[in-house]
């Protein structure tokens, strides 16, 4: 895929950061010394970690140069490095490995999560949040639109860009042998957005990327027009003009 756009992602910074705050609230650490923020994006998750643990060494990791540039500008006193989480691992045992909305993009992520737990300090914590929304209308309609149009062959593999989340038991069974405590829960957020156009803008920063990247400008415009008509029908406006985007997320906190 093409590089991520920090500008596009940050259009909904408050909504995207809310899940990171909820995840951090369940981290059972008072004074971690070394923290890795995996998939740090433009630094919004790093900022809440720095606020909670101002004396900790925090290292943000992301595979997007544009995201890292934005993160360095936002938090010049923190360290940010480029890394592909399918192969990148910590070079020091951390107190906290924090990952907000990134591991759904990592192939074979269940095994990768176990490796990160194994590399923690004794008592260290892996805290992970992943969108669990592939069955929501927003994403079902992406796949439907991809299959319907003249671009169907170009987009045959688009849905495979994200690794499918597993049942909670799969994470528990993978992590419990290397962790003394594993906590798993799911939360569904309902974000009031300004109708289908706003939902489209949200998704352009994340889920739509694998579907749009293979298309030329004309195909993108046609795809988006068809997709937006479906989104408008699936997410009707309330009396105040807002549409509710339901967004389930899966949370995992494992302590070594």
**Counting Cβ atoms within 10 Å, is residue 233 exposed (0-12), middle (13-18) or buried (19+)?**
exposed
Walk me through the domains of the chain, giving residue ranges and CATH numbers. Answer: 6-255 (3.40.50.150)
- Tell me the pLDDT tens digit for each residue of 199-250: 998 898 888 989 999 999 999 999 999 999 999 999 999 999 999 999 999 9
Cα–Cα distance between 86 and 32 in angstroms, integer?
Answer: 25
What is the pTM assigned to this prediction? 0.92
Q: Strand 243-255's sheet: what is its strand order?
A: 79-82, 57-62, 34-38, 96-100, 125-131, 243-255, 181-193
CB 243 within 8 A of CB 187: no
Residue 253 neighbours by CB under 8 Å, 6+ apart: 23, 26, 27, 28, 125, 126, 127, 128, 181, 182, 183, 184
Task: Indicate whether 172 pLDDT > 50.
Answer: yes
Give 53-65 pLDDT, tens digit per residue.
999 999 999 999 9
């Amino acid at each position: 895929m093409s590089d991520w756009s920090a500008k596009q992602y940050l259009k909904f910074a408050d909504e995207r950061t809310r899940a990171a705050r909820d995840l951090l609230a369940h981290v059972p650490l008072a004074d971690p010394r070394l923290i890795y923020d995996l998939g740090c994006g433009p630094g919004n998750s790093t900022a809440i970690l720095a606020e909670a643990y101002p004396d900790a060494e925090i290292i943000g990791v992301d595979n997007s140069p544009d995201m890292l540039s934005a993160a360095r500008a936002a938090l010049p006193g923190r360290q940010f490095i480029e890394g592909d989480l399918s192969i990148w691992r910590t070079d020091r045992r951390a107190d906290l490995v924090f990952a907000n909305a990134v591991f759904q993009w990592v192939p074979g992520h269940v095994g990768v999560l176990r490796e990160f737990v194994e590399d923690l300090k004794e008592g260290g914590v892996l805290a992970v949040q992943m969108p669990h929304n592939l069955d929501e209308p927003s994403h079902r309609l992406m796949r439907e639109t991809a299959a319907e149009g003249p671009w169907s062959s170009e987009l045959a593999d688009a849905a495979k860009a994200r690794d499918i989340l597993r049942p909670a038991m799969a994470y528990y069974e993978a992590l419990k042998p290397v962790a003394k405590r594993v906590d798993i829960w799911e939360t569904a957020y309902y974000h009031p957005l300004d109708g289908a156009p706003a939902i489209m803008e949200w998704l352009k920063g994340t889920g739509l990327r694998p579907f749009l990247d293979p298309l030329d400008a004309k195909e993108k415009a046609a795809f988006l027009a068809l997709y937006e008509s479906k989104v408008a029908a699936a997410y009707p406006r309330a009396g105040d003009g807002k549409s509710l985007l339901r967004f389930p997320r899966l949370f995992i906190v494992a302590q070594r």
